[in-house]
Structure 1
Amino acid sequence: MKGHDFLITVKAPGKLYIAGEYAVVETGFPAILVALNQFVTVTVKESNDYGSIYSQQYQENSLLWKREGNHMVFDNRDNPFHYILSAIKLTEAYAQEIGKKMKCYHLRIDSDLDSPDGKKYGLGSSAAVTVATVKALCRFYGLPMTKSRLFKLSAIAHLDIQGNGSLGDIAASVYGGWIAYNSFDRTWLKKARHQYSLTELIELKWPQLKVELLTPPKELSLVIGWTGSPASTSHLVDAVGLKKAERIKSYQKFLSESRECLKRMIKGFQTKSFEVIKKEIRYNRKLLQSLGELSDVQIETPLLRLLCETAEKLNGASKTSGAGGGDCGIVLIDNSVNIQQLLDGWKKIGIEPLDLHVHRVND
């Protein structure tokens, strides 16, 4: 088989936050996330002369590039592919450090994470596309990859573009299933990047970083509803950040209560106690409502409130997912309950149930 006929295809799942939003942005604070069975798929095929980056979603903006030595030179500068380009840059820098020869290739991206008509569900498409690109190029260049290295390379690439956030969505996309995630010290990472090579950096223990796989109780069902309006996570996180400086004492209280709530919830997963998990989901919802009031940011919109109230009538524990302000709400409900009743209730108030399931990553 000739080298340039060689086709590599990988996929990375989207994510949803279950609990611990906003607090997880602070170093060492925990959150729980799930990976979902909607994916970004990246294929790489070697080429001889020039390379291309093509997305099913952004056909009019596909990019052509050529090699000048080890550098990629682009034909057009204006593109929506910042995360992909950052992932390529990082992975190629790592490949060069371990002595791999740079090649040309065609990279193709296809995403189920936003609906065909361009609706954004808030499932972490920028994280999934970053992870899938890094993963695909690591295979293409034959780089030694573990989940820990994949997380670290993808986290650096994502942070270079977004500049804030906890990177929990990267962790969900790399590890899959249900995870408990503690965010690492981003200030340390900034300094460490000047002190270590990439090869050294991805082998180091990153301060405060922790990823633990969780197994939910067998009676637990996760149901997801979408409000029809997307939210910008980075803007919401920035807005809460601005306000927290003014009301530092209340914010510190929110942080410590969120940490304790998540610790109890993680224990609920470890002991398979659905009652404990539901109780803490409801408590986490209250904490986020109080953070919203404290910051003058509408985390739980009126429609998200209705989504939660409809679920609570059926004894489901419900809250906003992620930054709130739109996007999705989640419900943890006993699978003996007639879920159809919940879905019908949502449809009446204009909430779209998303037919998504938790995805476990094998390799």
Structure 2
Amino acid sequence: MITAKAPGKLYIAGEYAVVENGYPAILVALNQFVTCTISETNGPTGQIISQQYQNSALSWRRQGDQLVVDKRDNPFSYILAAIAVTEEYAKACGRDLRVFKMQIDSQLDNQSGRKYGLGSSAAVTVATVKALCQFYQLTVSKAQTFKLTAIAHFSVQGNGSLGDVAASVYGGWIAYHSFDRQWLANQRAILPLPTLLQLPWPNLAIEPLKVPERLKLVIGWTGKPASTSQLVDKIALFKAEHQAEYHQFLENSRRCLKAMIAGFQTNNLSAIQDQIRTNRILLANLAKRSGVAIETPLLKQLCQIAEQFGGAAKTSGAGGGDCGIVAIDHQANLAELTNAWQRAGIERLPLTVHFVAEP
């Protein structure tokens, strides 16, 4: 039996701009996981069972080297894409494909099954890729794991930056520059998968960040889920109709993130907090001009309360609900901040940063 896990994530800054080639964002991996367990089966039929989907089971069989699903409508798209891509790589590496049972367990939702916005689709894709690489005895680096997962995830979602995949693979705090997804789509059509994994991907950069000792990350959850894909699509429409304004937003975001990354590199908490506030303003202006509700009233209240205690706060990810993040001095009165959030109907999530062991 083989088990692999992948952490959830949150965006710290750089949302929306990061979907453009080469634009940076900062993300953090968190200590809540999706776990994938694989065991080989002797019969002709395999199974995928996912806690994420109310423990529903998906049966499948082999038809040659193809994995054939017995149901037309299934909620397992990311898992199936991860299997397809990893097995394509396994076959290219000379491995014989086998039949297996796969169990998926997730900590990325609350007890009622509501999502916290921690990147469950990325984490389940990473966990599946990692488990299958072990199952087929494939030695892969973090960079190769990221690329395999990015190919699988992008084949399903079709948009987004894949920063959540990077955070889930690398762990800790990272600065992420998105790659050229059109280049990937073009090369995927003509290159063998092992070659594609070895090539440098245009504009891709993933840099681990060292965090100032005084910095405490506090996460609040509004209880309202949000659809990242739908929000990103709405911003894409604004981009098409207001190209000059959108380009100015991108450049302002790039400068903000460059200064924030420098704050990490120089161990400067105040500089990091200043740029989190700047990024919040940039996103608010984008929301106003595009008509997309990035900062909901409850997220705004989350930020206002955090600022009263000396924290720098903003939405995390696409906004529209889900979580807000606060960068605050670890000596601040976090108990009072938590109580003030509770009175406003905001839940503080008891999460800590997760670091992934080398390599």
Task: Tell me the TM-score range normalised by the shorter chain.
Answer: over 0.9
User: How do 1:51-62 and structure 2 match up within 5 A?
Assistant: 51-59=46-54, 61-62=56-57
1:133 is aligned to 2:128: yes
Aligned residues: 357
Per-residue CA deviation, residues 191-231 of structure 1 (Å, 9 max, x unaligned), is 11122100000110000000000011000000000011000
**What is the alpha-carbon distance in structure 2 between the residues aligned to residue 356 and residue 306 of structure 1?**
21
What are structure 1's unaligned runs of at least 5 residues?
1-6
Q: Contact (CA 8 Å) 2:31, 2:351: kept in 1 or not?
A: yes
**What is the alpha-carbon distance in structure 2 between the residues aligned to residue 10 and residue 166 of structure 1?**
24
Match in the other structure for 2:218: 223
Match in the other structure for 2:62: 67
The verdict on how the C-alpha distance between 1:102 and 1:191 changes in structure 2, with shifts beyond 3 A counting, is: same
1:250 is aligned to 2:245: yes
- Which letter does structure 1 place at the counterpart of 2:318? A
1:10 is aligned to 2:4: yes
What TM-score does the superposition give when structure 2 sets the normalisation length? 0.98
Quote the offset at 1:59 in angstroms: 4.2
- Which letter does structure 1 place at the counterpart of 2:34? V
1:315 is aligned to 2:310: yes
Quote the offset at 1:64 in angstroms: 1.2
**What is the alpha-carbon distance in structure 1 between the residues aligned to residue 48 and residue 129 of structure 2?**
14
1:47 is aligned to 2:23: no
Q: Contact (CA 8 Å) 1:61, 1:79: kept in 2 or not?
A: no
Q: Contact (CA 8 Å) 2:49, 2:55: kept in 1 or not?
A: no
Quote the offset at 1:98 in angstroms: 1.2
- Which letter does structure 2 place at the counterpart of 1:33? L
Per-residue CA deviation, residues 221-275 of structure 1 (Å, 9 max, x unaligned), is 0000001100000000000110121111111111000000000000000000001
Per-residue CA deviation, residues 15-61 of structure 1 (Å, 9 max, x unaligned), is 00000000000000000000000000000001111210001232463
**What is the alpha-carbon distance in structure 2 between the residues aligned to residue 69 and residue 248 of structure 1?**
49
Quote the offset at 1:73 in angstroms: 2.0
SS in 2 for 1:272: coil
- Which letter does structure 1 place at the counterpart of 2:79? I
Match in the other structure for 1:344: 339
**What is the alpha-carbon distance in structure 2 between the residues aligned to residue 96 and residue 331 of structure 1?**
45
- Which letter does structure 2 place at the counterpart of 1:279? D
What are structure 2's unaligned runs of at least 5 residues?
none
1:20 is aligned to 2:20: no
- Which letter does structure 1 place at the counterpart of 2:24? P
Match in the other structure for 1:153: 148
**What is the alpha-carbon distance in structure 2 between the residues aligned to residue 116 and residue 316 of structure 1?**
29
1:76 is aligned to 2:81: no
**What is the alpha-carbon distance in structure 1 between the residues aligned to residue 30 and residue 106 of structure 2?**
13
Q: Contact (CA 8 Å) 2:293, 2:320: kept in 1 or not?
A: yes
1:101 is aligned to 2:104: no
User: How do 1:191-340 and structure 2 match up within 5 A?
Assistant: 191-340=186-335
- Which letter does structure 2 place at the counterpart of 1:20? G
Q: Contact (CA 8 Å) 2:10, 2:29: kept in 1 or not?
A: yes
Match in the other structure for 1:3: none
**What is the alpha-carbon distance in structure 2 between the residues aligned to residue 323 and residue 57 of structure 1?**
22
- Quick one: which of 98, 110, 115 aligns to 2:110? 115
What is the RMSD of the two structures over their aligned residues, measured on CA atoms?
A: 0.8
- Quick one: which of 26, 30, 33 aligns to 2:27? 33
**What is the alpha-carbon distance in structure 2 between the residues aligned to residue 68 and residue 293 of structure 1?**
52
Q: Contact (CA 8 Å) 1:185, 1:206: kept in 2 or not?
A: yes
The verdict on how the C-alpha distance between 1:60 and 1:270 changes in structure 2, with shifts beyond 3 A counting, is: closer
SS in 2 for 1:195: coil
What TM-score does the superposition give when structure 1 sets the normalisation length? 0.97
SS in 2 for 1:230: coil
Quote the offset at 1:68 in angstroms: 2.1
- Which letter does structure 2 place at the counterpart of 1:280? Q
**What is the alpha-carbon distance in structure 2 between the residues aligned to residue 174 and residue 294 of structure 1?**
34
Quote the offset at 1:78 in angstroms: 1.7
Quote the offset at 1:75 in angstroms: 1.9
The verdict on how the C-alpha distance between 1:22 and 1:82 changes in structure 2, with shifts beyond 3 A counting, is: same
1:87 is aligned to 2:77: no
**What is the alpha-carbon distance in structure 2 between the residues aligned to residue 43 and residue 255 of structure 1?**
41
Q: Contact (CA 8 Å) 2:61, 2:68: kept in 1 or not?
A: yes
SS in 1 for 2:332: coil
**What is the alpha-carbon distance in structure 2 between the residues aligned to residue 323 and residue 277 of structure 1?**
20
- Which letter does structure 1 place at the counterpart of 2:65? N
Per-residue CA deviation, residues 103-144 of structure 1 (Å, 9 max, x unaligned), is 000000000001121111100000000000000000000112
Quote the offset at 1:100 in angstroms: 0.5
